[in-house]
Chain A
Amino acid sequence: MLSGENIVKSVSDLLHQLYAMVGLSAFKGVLDPIVAAHVMFGFISVFVMFLVWMERKVSAHMQSRIGPNRVGIFGLLQTVADAIKLTIKEDIKPVHRDKIPYYIAPIIAFVATFAGMVVIPFDKGMVVQDLNIGLLYIIAITSFTVIAILSAGWSSNNKFALLGGFRSAAQIVSYEVPLVLSLVPVIMMTGTLRLGGIVEYQSQNHWFVLYQFIAFFIFITSATAEANRAPFDIPEAESELIGGFHTEYSGVKFAMFFLGEYIAVIVSSAVAVTVFLGGWLPPFAFLAFVPGFIWFMIKLLLVIYLVMAFRWTFPRLRVDQLMDFGWKVLIPVAILNILVTGFCVLFFGKGV
């Protein structure tokens, strides 16, 4: 039967035979993660290209336009062409830049979000490493983007870039709080931080979106803000700050920031799918013959569509409105949600 676990097993068996043929069986523990990272990178690059195309198509059809339709069928190769253009572009650097942070910032922006993909379970057993602190790990590692954005803003030696970096720092620090608080009720109910464990809990009960829909909406909102996407895109507000923190970046470095933003969307949507929408589980039991990773991808695309619809529907928030919304609405509601869930767990037992 085609399932994620079997695919991973057969591929890793094949790999181990390959190691044995070359005589590298002793380095299995080192080589396996490297191969996994490359597979993940390939998947992510192609998926990000698809998402950029999808975003342009979604926005186009929302505005009664056509969108990219020239390069390839349905314009599918448009993003490939854009990526090639970005890589061969001249790398323009400001003269008075702060050299080391300027170079490191795009790398951190990419790596910090990409590292979050490690614990995402695409199917039962189809995961790079199902850490027992997976949720905490994702929250911690994706917060590194704020360092990248702040150092990009600082090192560009440009007032708009610096303003964008400061705004971004304020925003990410503010929205990290409701993001974590919205995940706490789930952890209270499941008693585990392992993403695979959370999905297994949902396979015995219902999906968490039924119990914790408030937490789901808080999570999606704060994740959108974390990824610096509209309507929370004030760090790169084009109409106010040119490009924000990536004003002075061009070519491959800009592509890294762009990639990082989309990977952040993928990671947070994947966490939302895993934690609230049942991960690889089919919506109904009789649909179990469809492999789990296909269900995961369908749910992932639906959540990403939701995030894209946010971007093309809602107007951008002002800085003070953004802070108001984060501190006066999301955090109190999230804390109330924790309180209510706590009482429920206390009085009705773990299963609600």
Chain B
Amino acid sequence: MGAVGHYFSSIVMGFWNLVIGLSVTTKYFLRMKTNTQQYPEERLPLPERSRSMIKLIYDGEKDQFNCVACMMCAKACPNSCIKLEGVRQPDGKRRVTTFKLDFSTCIFCGYCVEACGFDALTFVSEEYENSVYQRGSLLQDEQAMKWVRPAHLTPKTEEPAKVAAPAGATAGA
């Protein structure tokens, strides 16, 4: 009798489990909520620190790039895709004149951004459609990479000593 009872109870339990599974899928079906992003029409806002594109920070107030052409980024680059030149200005500070980054060889490792001591290079999140029709278009110069930092993205400096310094002033220090 025990075997027969087990047989029927296992059938009923199996059936009940299937009903539970069906109720879950039907619940999801009737909810009609979708998580899909319809990409060309809807765009996902990326996190602020996502490494979508490398940009050269331009200081709008002083009308100059933050870059002082110290070559640290070019030295840090494992693929040697950064080429830059700078000249000494009349005020005694070096300023970048040409900055070229070849994105066809760049691997977005971020070493240049890390190596930069003057808050001149940064990753931006908003520009992530980086495909081009010609390979040559991937070689960007300082005008293509010019980027003015919006106010809400003030640098969050990691060293406590630099917290007091205003944004942009760090470049001249």
- Chain B: minimal CB distance from A263 (Å): 24
B131 at interface, CB cutoff 8 A: no
Cβ proximity bits B130-151 to A, threshold 8 Å, 1 near / 0 not: 0000000000000000000000
State which residues 1-46 of B face A: CB under 8 Å.
Answer: 11, 15, 18, 21-22, 24-26, 28-29, 31-36, 38
**Interface bin, chain A:** 10 to 19
> Interface code A297-310, partner B: CB below 8 Å = 1, 0 otherwise?
00000000000011
A62 within 8 A of B: yes
Per the 8 Å Cβ criterion, residues 267-296 of A in contact with B are: none
What CA separation (Å) do A285 and B29 show in the bound complex? 31
Q: Please determine whether A62 and B28 come into contact, CB atoms closer than 8 angstroms.
A: yes
The size of the chain B interface, using a CB distance under 8 A, is 17
- Taken together as a complex, chains A and B put the C-alpha atoms of A312 and B24 apart, in Å, by 11
Q: How far apart are the CA atoms of A60 and B29 in the complex, in Å?
A: 8
Q: Which of A62, A65, A329, A333 meets B36, CB within 8 Å?
A: A65
Q: Do B34 and A309 have beta carbons less than 8 Å apart?
A: no
| Cβ–Cβ contact A65 & B34, under 8 A | yes
Residues of B near A60 (CB, < 8 A) are 34
In contact, B22 and A66 (Cβ under 8 angstroms): no
Evaluate contact between B35 and A64: CB separation under 8 angstroms.
yes
Q: Which of B21, B28, B31 contacts A314 (CB 8 A)?
A: B21
CB distance from A182 to the nearest CB of B (A): 15
Known contacts A61-B29, A64-B35; is-contact A329 B21 (Cβ 8 Å): no
| Docked complex Cα distance between A123 and B35 (Å) | 41
Q: Which residues of B contact A45 (CB under 8 A)?
A: none
Contact of A64 among B11, B21, B26, B28 (CB under 8 A): B28
Please, which residues of chain A bring their CB within 8 A of the CB of B24? Answer: 313
Our pick among A66, A309, A333 for the contact of B25 (Cβ within 8 Å) is A309
Interface mask (B89-118 → A, CB under 8 Å = 1, otherwise 0) = 000000000000000000000000000000
- Cβ of A313 and Cβ of B35 under 8 Å apart? no
**At the interface, yes or no: A58 with Cβ under 8 Å from chain B?**
yes
| Neighbouring A residues of B26 by C-beta, 8 Å | 309
- B36 contacts A66, C-beta separation under 8 Å: yes
Give the chain A neighbours of B36 by CB distance below 8 A: 64-66
- In the bound complex, do residue B32 and residue A313 qualify as a contact, i.e. CB atoms below 8 Å apart? no
Cα A329 to Cα B29 in complex, Å, equals 30
| Residues from chain B with Cβ under 8 Å of A310 in the complex | 22
Distance from B173 Cβ to chain A, minimum over Cβ atoms (Å): 51
Residue pair A62, B25 in contact (C-beta under 8 Å):
yes
CA distance A128 to B26 in the complex (A): 35
B8 closest partner in A (C-beta): A333
**Which residues 195-241 of A have a CB within 8 angstroms of B?**
217
Check if A64 sits within 8 Å of B25, measured CB to CB: no
Task: Give the contacting residue for B38; candidates A58, A61, A66; CB below 8 A.
Answer: A66
Q: Is the CB of B34 within 8 A of A61?
A: yes
Residue from A64, A217, A310 with most neighbouring chain B CB atoms (10 Å) = A64
Name A58's closest neighbour in chain B (CB-CB). Answer: B29
Contact, CB under 8 Å: A314 / B18 = yes
Report the bound CA distance from A66 to B15 in whole Å.
Answer: 30
Q: Which residues of A contact B25 (CB under 8 A)?
A: 62, 309, 312-313
Determine the distance from Cα of A319 to Cα of B36 in the docked complex, in whole angstroms.
35
Interface string of A302-335 (1 = CB under 8 A from B): 0000000110111000000000000001000100
> Complex formed: what's the CA distance from A37 to B134 in Å?
58
Chain A residues with CB under 8 A of B35: 64-65
9 closest Cβ contacts across the A-B interface? A313-B25, A62-B25, A66-B36, A313-B21, A64-B35, A61-B29, A66-B34, A62-B29, A62-B28
Add 6 more A-B contacts to A61-B28, A62-B29 (CB < 8 A).
A62-B25, A66-B34, A217-B15, A310-B22, A313-B18, A313-B24
Residues of A bordering B, CB below 8 Å: 58, 60-66, 217, 309-310, 312-314, 329, 333
